[in-house]
Amino acid sequence: MANQNPNYVVEDDDDDDDDKGGWSFVGYSVVFFALSGLAYWWINKKEQEGGRFKLWWVLALVYHWLGKVGVSGVLAGIGVLSLLIGVIRIVAKSRQSAKA
């Protein structure tokens, strides 16, 4: 009979999931770059209209200290970090597969 041990674990030799992590970070960076532009546009529109507007408290602190350029810059900075992490993971995966 086949192995009937309920604690039997089969090792996963499929490494397809590893490279998805790199590409997902690249995708996150695209989203953060888009959010950066959208945040700048939206805050600029609200400033032109005058009056008060609501922001998430973290972005409100950044806006208070650095203005709309700071909010946009923080979001773009997160996008840059995400892009770097993604590219590093993709390059490391391709080098690892080239050695094998």
pLDDT for 30-43, tens place per residue?
Answer: 999 999 999 999 99
Q: DSSP letters of 4-73?
A: --TT--------HHHHHHHHHHHHHHHHHHHHHHHHHHHHHHHHHH-S-----HHHHHHHHHHHHHHHHH
Q: What is the pLDDT of residues 12-58, one digit of tens each?
A: 555 555 546 799 999 999 999 999 999 999 999 999 999 899 999 99
Q: pTM of the full predicted structure?
A: 0.75
Domains of the chain by residue range: 22-99
